[in-house]
Amino acid sequence: MIRLKSREQIEAIRKAGKIIAEIFEDARDWAKPSVSALELDGWIADYIRKKGGKSAFKGYRGYPAETCISINEEVVHGIPSSRKLAEGDIVGVDIGVKIDGYYADGAFTFPVGHTSSKGRRLLEVSRCALYEGIAQIRSGNRIGDISSAIQRYAEGHGYSVVRTLFGHGIGEFLHEDPIIPNFGQEERGEKLKEGMVLAIEPMINEGGSEVTVLPNKWTVVTKDASLSAHFEHTVAILDGKVKILTSLLLDEREYLGG
């Protein structure tokens, strides 16, 4: 069942999203060589608490940390550890925030120091794939329009999309209907409606699309050990148009080229 949200509910979700957006403004300064994933996790957790929120991930289905921090071939759900970031790494930071009973979810993958041109290109294409998907979100379109736009952009630039992990609805719960694949056909799937709130999150691999889960039962890695990038925004449909709730920009046209 898809839970359509009122304007008031969307504003509550935006409050959680603003915390995520503020963190990502500063996180690039923290994602430096010699900083550990655990230090990043602690800094982010402190910031969320200072703003009156709580981590949406800590304890969710037994997850042990405040955030997910995934390095290089780790696709998502990397458990923060004392492992230090190294020059040339890429690090995906995935944050969920709950405040006043509502959730937002966002992710960004950062270069650590001087990253190779291959790594930088993967990040840029993955980020753009996210916005290609978001640009399809408006009343009357369908989930497949989002999915196909992401797939077309990523594969058109020589990358693959992960096919076993998806975006999702969000708001009163961290994960709600509908499921939003990062691949598919245009004009297929659930019709997009006023009041939908969605977490759009392409996971793009440098190599093949196949992934596997590490023995910790959380961390997903590429099967061929190639690099992977993860970007995510929580968005809403208001007045028939998309609004990005995990951005500090008031006008999303800066992202969408309008």
Peptide bond into 215 cis (omega under 30): no
User: What is the distance between the alpha carbons of residues 51 and 15, in angstroms, rounded to a whole number?
Assistant: 10
102-117 pLDDT, tens digit per residue, is 999 999 999 999 999 9
Per the annotation, binding residues for substrate are: 77, 175
Q: Is residue 1 part of a domain?
A: no
**What DSSP line would sit under 83-145, residue for residue?**
PBP-TT-EEEEEEEEEETTEEEEEEEEEE-SS--HHHHHHHHHHHHHHHHHHTT-BTT-BHHH
Q: Is residue 32 part of a domain?
A: yes
Q: Is residue 88 part of a domain?
A: yes
Per the annotation, binding residues are: 77, 94, 105, 168, 175, 201, 232
74-98 pLDDT, tens digit per residue, is 999 999 999 999 999 999 999 999 9
46-74 pLDDT, tens digit per residue, is 999 999 999 999 999 999 999 999 999 99
If one counts the domains in the chain, the total is 1
Per the annotation, binding residues for a divalent metal cation are: 94, 105, 168, 201, 232
Q: Is residue 41 part of a domain?
A: yes
Q: Which among 26, 20, 51 is positioned nearest to 201, based on CA atoms?
A: 20
Mean pLDDT to the nearest integer, 186-204: 97
Query: Model's pTM, two decimal places?
Result: 0.95
Q: Is residue 2 part of a domain?
A: no
| Whole-angstrom Cα Rg for the chain | 17
191: containing domain: 7-256
H/E element holding 178? Answer: strand 176-180
HSE value, Cβ hemisphere, 13 Å, CA-based, for 138: 7
